Structure 1
Amino acid sequence: MLYRRKTYTVEPVMYETFTHFFHTYLLPNQLTHGAQLVGRWVNEERTEIMAMWAYDNRAHYETVDASIRASEMHAEAQNYRKSLAPLFISSNEDFFTSTGNYGQSPQIVAVSGYIVNEEGHVLLVRNNHRNDTYEMPGGRLELGESLKEAVKRELLEETGIHAEIGDMTGVYQNITSGVICMVFRGRAVSGVPAAQPPETIDVQFVDFDIAQVGDWVKRPQFASRVDDARNSDTIAYESYEVRPYRLIERS
Structure 2
Amino acid sequence: MFYRKKTYEIDPDRLEMFNDFFHQYLLPNQLKHGAELVGRWTTEDRRKIHAIWAYKSREDYERIERRVRHDELHARAQKRRAQLPPFFHSSREEFLTATGDYHRPKHIVSAAGVITNDEGHLLLVKTFWRADTWELPGGQIELGEALENAVKREIFEESGIVVAVDGLTGVYKNLKKDILTLVFRGRQVGGRLRISEETQDVGFFPNDPHVLDQLVTRPHLRARIRDAFERPPIPAISFHPSSP
TM range (shorter): 0.7 to 0.9
Residues 19 and 122 of structure 1, relative CA distance in 2, 3 Å threshold: same
Deviations 1:108-140 (A, max 9, x none): 111111111111111111122222221111111
Residues 220 and 167 of structure 1, relative CA distance in 2, 3 Å threshold: same
Q: Shift of residue 234 of structure 1? A: 7.2
8 Å contact kept, 1:31–1:129 = no
The residue that corresponds to 1:47 in the other structure is 47
8 Å contact kept, 1:27–1:129 = no
Q: What TM-score do you get using the length of structure 1 for normalisation?
A: 0.83
Residues 217 and 44 of structure 1, relative CA distance in 2, 3 Å threshold: farther
- Percent of aligned pairs with the same residue? 47
**CA distance in structure 1 between the partners assigned to 2:38 and 2:132 by the alignment:** 23
| Runs ≥4 residues deviating over 6 A | none
**CA distance in structure 1 between the partners assigned to 2:72 and 2:155 by the alignment:** 29
User: 1:145 and 2:182 equivalent?
Assistant: no
Residues 189 and 14 of structure 1, relative CA distance in 2, 3 Å threshold: same
8 Å contact kept, 2:184–2:233 = no
Deviations 1:160-204 (A, max 9, x none): 22111112111101111111111110111110021111x222221
Alignment of 1:1-251 (within 5 A): 1-98=1-98, 99-102=100-103, 104-197=104-197, 199-233=198-232
Q: What TM-score do you get using the length of structure 2 for normalisation?
A: 0.85
Partner amino acid for 1:100? D
Identify which range, 165-174 or 215-224, moves more after superposition: 215-224
Count of residue pairs the alignment pairs up: 233
Runs of at least 5 residues in structure 2 that lack an aligned partner in the other structure: 235-244
8 Å contact kept, 1:138–1:155 = yes
8 Å contact kept, 2:185–2:233 = no
**CA distance in structure 2 between the partners assigned to 1:182 and 1:79 by the alignment:** 35
Q: Shift of residue 101 of structure 1? A: 4.0
**CA distance in structure 1 between the partners assigned to 2:48 and 2:16 by the alignment:** 13
**CA distance in structure 1 between the partners assigned to 2:45 and 2:128 by the alignment:** 30
Residues 140 and 83 of structure 1, relative CA distance in 2, 3 Å threshold: closer
Instruction: Report the RMSD for the aligned CA atoms in angstroms.
Output: 2.1
Residues 111 and 79 of structure 1, relative CA distance in 2, 3 Å threshold: closer
8 Å contact kept, 1:172–1:180 = yes
Runs of at least 5 residues in structure 1 that lack an aligned partner in the other structure: 236-251
Q: Shift of residue 220 of structure 1? A: 2.0
Q: Shift of residue 72 of structure 1? A: 4.0
**CA distance in structure 2 between the partners assigned to 1:111 and 1:83 by the alignment:** 34
**CA distance in structure 1 between the partners assigned to 2:42 and 2:133 by the alignment:** 32
